[in-house]
Amino acid sequence: MGYTLIYSQIYKFIPYLIKGAIISLQIAVLSFFIGMFLGLIFATIRTFGPKILDRLVVIYVTFFTNTPQLVQIYFLFFALPEVGIMLSPFYAVLIGMTLNAAAYLSEIQRAGFISVKQEELDAAKTLNFSIFQQVKYVILPNIMQVLFPPLSNHYILMTLGTSMAAIFGVEELTGRALNINSDTFRSVEIFSITALIYICITFLATFLLAIIGRYFFKAKIRIIQ
């Protein structure tokens, strides 16, 4: 083996990488919450809405959950300029991840909607609650406990998913690792440290989500099973 591992050369890049990790988290958090909001609207449409909108949402969700996120972003990044919309890499990734997330999160939330007992919704209807009020006051409070684990799980998946932004040149964690790699060529050291950072941020996220879940939603998540 004509190669020795020299980690000392790489240590100085760790702050640079961590700043990249923060950008990864920004992408994940933004696309998750916007996606969850959109998903909520979609779930509401699918549960209450007119048949036409329901069908449209089904087509949307089916399409986005049966195709890879990477290719979706490729499409946004390369195909949209054809119709005159030029997106920066960051926004192409952000929008792509958000649209993808909206599809998956709408299904998760819709499952929660279904689990609410019909009697409670009927009671609300007789009290003249609008759809918006039914969702806000009857459905959401009831299902938060059930939804918390799958939503948290998807968030973690999205955090890992931000790494594909590097392919488009975004300087998040993986992107920065690739930068350092092209400068120093200490590939194994760089990517093993990058991997370690991903492991740490997902552990941190799981841990925080477990605490939030337990105290606010009484939903239990295990950190390591």
Residue 204 binds other proteins (CB under 8 A):
no
Among 11, 37, 75, 207, binds other proteins (CB under 8 A): 75
Using the rule CB under 8 A, is 67 a contact of other proteins? yes
Q: Measured from the CB atom, is 4 or 128 closer to other proteins?
A: 4
Q: Which is nearer to other proteins, 151 or 177 (CB)?
A: 177
Angle between helices 51-65 and 14-48 (to 10 degrees): 150
Token pair listed for 90 = 């960051």
- CB nearer to other proteins: pick between 123 and 208: 208
Query: Are the C-beta atoms of 108 and 146 separated by less than 8 Å?
Result: no
Query: Closest Cα to residue 173, out of 194, 192, 201, 203?
Result: 194
CA distances from 128 to 43, 47, 133 (A): 21, 18, 9
115 binds other proteins (CB under 8 A): no
Characterise 67 by phi-psi region: left (phi > 0), alpha (psi -120 to 50), beta (else): beta
Structure tokens at 143: 């299902």
- Interface map 6-35 toward other proteins (x if CB under 8 A): ------------------------------
- CA nearest to 25, candidates 164, 160, 177, 203: 160
Using CB under 8 A, which of 63, 91, 207, 216 touches other proteins? 63
CB of 196 to other proteins, least distance (A): 9
Tell whether the torsion through CA atoms of 27, 105, 53 and 120 is positive or negative. negative
Q: 142 vs 181, which CB is nearer to other proteins?
A: 181
**Applying CB under 8 A, does 192 fall inside the site for other proteins?**
yes
Q: Does 224 participate in binding other proteins (rule CB under 8 A)? A: yes
- Span 158-177, contacts to other proteins by CB under 8 A: 160-164, 166-167, 174, 177
For other proteins, the closer CB: 67 or 130: 67
Tell me whether residue 121 or residue 186 sits nearer to other proteins (CB atom): 186
185 torsion bin: left (phi>0), alpha (psi -120 to 50), beta (else): left
- Residue 66 buriedness (CB in 10 A; 0-12 / 13-18 / 19+): exposed
List contacts with other proteins (CB under 8 A).
Answer: 1-3, 62-63, 65-72, 74-75, 78-79, 81-82, 160-164, 166-167, 174, 177, 187-188, 191-192, 194-195, 198-199, 202-203, 224-225
